[in-house]
Structure 1
Amino acid sequence: MKSLNQWFDEYAESHQNKTNQQIHFICVPVIFFSIVGLFMSINSDIISTTLNIHNPFIENWAALVLLILLIFYIRLSFNIFVKMLTFSIVCLVGNYFLGELVPLLPTSIILFVVAWVGQFYGHKLEGKKPSFFKDLQFLLIGPAWVFEKLLIKRAAV
């Protein structure tokens, strides 16, 4: 398995353009958030009845998928795991409340599509294909890379 730095270095190769990076800083978290919303939109009666769970934040498919993804992150780095765990909780809570205001499934689909359009526009500016065309694991590296870059920038200010 590659180290976190190897993943980040390889991901950064196709994310050098400042505008593309700025687009990623917005679109990658939106895509992650919308995917959580999509999974939360799937009927989860089987989870709540099988596990006898009655908590709307964890009795959904998104919580199960995030748990699996978090195993990937903890194998890379405890620091990244904590950041992604925190963002995953924000996504679960945010999508729960978003679903109280608007229909979650169509809203998540719209966010997902708009954010991907932004991503591909950024890569058009960059002149390089998205990293996940090379390896699908980059779909998981992208959010970690964005949060790492954003937190480094914030600490430098």
Structure 2
Amino acid sequence: MRTIDTLLAQYGESHRNHVNEWVHIVCVPLIVFSLLGLLWSAHPSVALLGSILALYYYYKLSRAFAAGMLAILAIMLGLLLMMPALTILPVSLALFVLAWIGQFIGHQIEGKKPSFLDDVRFLLVGPLFVLGFLYRRLRLAY
């Protein structure tokens, strides 16, 4: 079994409840966007470097997922570029906190702890889990 399939299966074990799945579909992209915003607040090149490093990891797992994440990260970075500079940090902090609260509520409903508590790689797998929903809806292979 490919590493990506194993990681998604392991991640999926603590994301079976449909409410928790939908919480993740909403909150994971918000966390990614807010994290990029926090990095952008340090300097836009830091957000770009973080994106490149994440994309490298995704590419090693799956070219199809890397392509999808490239599109998503490009859109998110574009949104940050269009935002007034003074709003990026406070908006990112607020989204980060609220989205993580949502995640923990989702896991409370699920009755299982977040996967990243066992393996930090799952912080990067979460966006792929959400992207996998989209790929399955569009009948795209990964």
Q: TM-score, normalised by structure 2?
A: 0.92
Report the equivalent of 2:33.
33
Report the equivalent of 2:8.
8
Between the aligned partners of 1:81 and 1:18, the Cα distance in structure 2 is: 26
Matches within 5 A, 1:101-112: 103-112=87-96
Matches within 5 A, 1:39-118: 39-42=39-42, 44=43, 59-99=44-84, 103-118=87-102
Shift of 1:98: 2.5
Report the equivalent of 1:142.
126
Q: After TM superposition, which residue ranges in structure 1, 4 or more long, deviate above 4 angstroms?
A: none
Between the aligned partners of 1:154 and 1:19, the Cα distance in structure 2 is: 21
Between the aligned partners of 2:84 and 2:131, the Cα distance in structure 1 is: 25
Between the aligned partners of 1:152 and 1:99, the Cα distance in structure 2 is: 36
Is 1:130 matched with 2:114? yes
- Greater helix content: 2
Partner amino acid, structure 1, of 2:81 = Y
Contact in 2 for aligned 1:123/1:130 (Cα 8 Å): yes
Between the aligned partners of 1:27 and 1:110, the Cα distance in structure 2 is: 12
Question: What percent of counterpart residues are identical?
Answer: 38
Q: TM-score, normalised by structure 1?
A: 0.84
Partner amino acid, structure 1, of 2:123 = L
Shift of 1:95: 1.4
Between the aligned partners of 2:48 and 2:11, the Cα distance in structure 1 is: 26
Size of the alignment, in residue pairs? 139
- Structure 2 stretches of 5 or more lacking a match? none
